């Protein structure tokens, strides 16, 4: 979605996508670094988030911002998170995919 929005923002010119990392083009609102980047980005801004809408800043609801809500297939989420947890050290070892799936279904995820 970020690639599509980046291309729309640049009238189809892929130069921006190729030269600016995705974390600068669509920073994550829920991180301090992402929030700071988003505030300093030129308008119209692209901001990414995993936050539920009720946790968005109050100013958002009075703005002219537009939201694109993307939903992923739960199987895709499981497999993606499993592989991410295997390489991202702050997560505990996910074990086998089957073990991870059981934890995921219980709501434990990769904590």
CA distance linking residue 67 with residue 105, whole number of Å? 28
Is 83 in the active site? no
pLDDT of residue 81: 87
Nearest CA to 1 out of 29, 35, 25 is that of 25
Residues 98 and 46 in one domain: no
pLDDT of residue 110: 54
Residues 49 and 90 in one domain: no
pLDDT in tens, the chain (111 residues): 999 999 999 999 999 999 999 999 999 888 899 999 999 999 899 999 888 888 888 888 999 988 898 888 989 989 988 888 888 777 778 899 999 999 989 887 555
Residues 2 and 50 in one domain: yes
Q: What is the pTM of this model?
A: 0.65
pLDDT of residue 87: 85
Residues 51 and 91 in one domain: no
Residue 68 counted as domain residue: no
Buried b vs exposed e over 3-16: b needs ≥16 C-beta within 10 Å? eebbeebeeeeeee
Looking at the structure of the chain, the number of domains it has is 2
Tokens of 22: 């995705």
CA distance linking residue 102 with residue 109, whole number of Å? 9
pLDDT of residue 30: 84
- What range defines the domain where residue 35 resides? 1-60
Cβ neighbors of 111 (< 8 A, separation 6 or more) are: 91, 92
Catalytic residue among 43, 50, 58, 75: 50
Residues 49 and 79 in one domain: no
Residue 69 counted as domain residue: no
């Amino acid at each position: 979605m970020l690639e599509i929005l980046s291309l729309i923002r640049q009238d189809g010119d892929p130069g921006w996508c190729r030269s600016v990392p995705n974390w600068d083009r669509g920073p994550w609102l829920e991180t301090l670094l992402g929030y700071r980047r988003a505030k300093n980005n030129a308008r119209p801004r692209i901001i990414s988030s995993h936050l539920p809408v009720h946790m968005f800043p109050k100013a958002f609801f009075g703005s002219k911002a537009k939201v694109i809500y993307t939903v992923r297939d739960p199987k895709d989420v499981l497999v993606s998170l499993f592989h991410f947890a295997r390489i991202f050290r702050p997560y505990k070892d996910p074990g086998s995919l089957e073990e991870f799936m059981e934890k995921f279904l219980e709501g434990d995820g990769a904590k």
